[in-house]
Structures are given as structure tokens and as C-alpha cells.
Amino acid sequence: MKEARDKTIKNLTRGKRLRKWEIIFIITMLAVPVVHWLVFWLYTNIQSILLAFQLPKINQNAPIRWSTLEIERFFHNFQGDGWAIALRNTIIHFVKDVLMLPLQLFVAYFLYRKIRGWRFYQIVFYLPTIISGVAMASLYERLIQPGGPLDMLFPGEFQNFLIMPEYATIAILFFTVWLGWGGQMLLFGGALAKIPVELIESARLDGIGTFREFIYIIVPLVWGTASTIIILIMTQMFSLQGAVLLLGKGGASETQTIGYWIFYKVQLGASYYNEVSAAGFIFTLVGVPVIMFIKWLIERIPVVDY
């Protein structure tokens, strides 16, 4: 009896020791992401908000001067500083991304149905996503510039569209459609792959056609993925600047987006940090309620569980 009791006490002590090391391990593993969040998200965003209500410093040792001048200047210079054009282009890119979703789902559905040549189409749609964006931008720029392959096929029809204000935004939109087509399709493909085969086979035995299958079965079953993608597109709307940076670097003012404008101003130096912080603060105040409202509307549509 004494040996059994001693063995039980030993096991309990060992178990407590193991739990102690487990707690230490968990704390250690969580310390890195928590510190990263505190430093690179919380501290950075608090500093950005504070900068929006300060005047630029003449030098590093100058005292902090609190003022709402940068926010007032933003509204005063909204038209003259290119903000109206940047906002317009940002909305255009957002609408383009949303309108692409049904087409991406439609194409992903036909690849899911394994139509003739579906493997070839997979390569065509996914290859631009796999290749580096810088390489694809260089290829696209050479493709449409004077003396490029398309200009050889249609002599005199192609000019340097990326530096022509009336065509630059359209040229960048074509590039983003080409480059961004495969990413969302990959997500839709994963959602389609999880649909029970028995459900599709049962519907086909009942005589459902391809169109009705897509509308009444496929769309409701992948709505959870589609709604998540829409929210992600909205959260990234004000930071979009990659394509504008790669193609012409915003040389034509007509191509600027809000994300590129912020990037460009930050590159100019610390004297513009207050202006950029004020702009970011204002767009956050506008964007967060809009995103939360759209999220609320999307969640009103029931998600089908399977």
C-alpha cells in the first residue's frame, strides 16, 4: 500500500513538473508574436495617429507641436494634391476586383468539372500567379510597348500606353486582371474540392443542368469563401499600390492610387510623415464603418454547412 501511494505521489509530482514545462513552452512560443504585434502593429498605429495631430519637426530635437493643421490641409488640398484622382483609381480597382469574382468562380467551376483541356487552362490561369510580379510586369511592359510583339503584329497601333494619362490606368487594369486571375481561382478551387461528390451526383441524377447546378448548388456552397474574399478585398483597398509601383512607378499622375500616394510621400522623407498619417487616419475613420457595414450585410446571407 505504501509503495502504491509513493508511486502515485511521484506520478503527480512528475505531472506537475511536466505541466510547468508545458506552460513555459507555451509562453515562450507566444512571446514572439505578441511582442511583434505590440511593436509593429499597436505601437506603430498609435504613433501614426499621434503624428496626424502634430506639425512636422524642424529637427529631431525640436519640441512636439500639437495641431490639426495636417487634417485641415488634407481637406483643403483634396483636389489639388491628387487625392481625388487617387481615390477614383482606388475605387476603380476595388470594383474591378469584385466584378472579377463571379468570373473567377465560373472558370474555377469549369476546371472543377474537368472540361476538355482543363489541365492546359489551369497552367494558363495559374502561371502568372506563380511567376514573380516584377518579372510579369517587365514582360507586360515589353509586350505592349512600341516595337514589342503586339506592335509587330499590329504596326502603328501600340504606343507607350503606361505614360499616356488617358490610357495608363486602363493598361494597369489589364495587367492586374491578368496577374490576379489565378489567386482567387485557387481559393475557389479549394472550396469546390471540398464539396461532397455524392451531393453533385445526386443532383445530376435528378436531371439538374449545368447552369442550375452552378447557381443553386455551387454558389451557396462556396459563399463562405466568396464572402471572405470580398472582405479581404475591402480591407486591402486603401493599401493597393503594387501594380502602379511596378508599371511606370506612378509616372502618369492619372494612375495613382491611395496606397501608392502614401508610399510615394513616405519615400520623400520624414517631413511628409505627418501628412501621410493624417490621410491614413481620415481614411481609417471612413473605411472601418464601411467595411463593418458590408461585413454585416454579407453575414445576412446564410452560409450552407456541409
CA distance 291 to 116: 40
- Band (114; pLDDT cuts 50, 70, 90): confident
- In three-state secondary structure terms, 248 is helix
Q: Return the percentage of the chain with pLDDT > 90, whole number.
A: 2
> Residue 9: what pLDDT?
53
| 35 pLDDT tier (thresholds 50, 70, 90) | very high
Alpha carbon distances (Å) from 231 to 102, 223, 295: 15, 12, 7
3-state secondary structure of 56: coil
- Cβ of 44: how many Cβ atoms within 10 Å? 11
- Render pLDDT for 132-188 as a digit per residue (tens, 0 to 9): 778 888 888 888 777 777 767 767 666 677 777 777 888 888 888 877 777 788 888
Q: What is the pLDDT of residue 215?
A: 87
Q: Which CATH architecture has domain 81-133+160-299?
A: Orthogonal Bundle (1.10)
Query: Would the pLDDT of 15 be above 80?
Result: no
H helix or E strand, kind and range, residue 254 = none
pLDDT of 8 higher than 70: no
| Reported pTM | 0.78
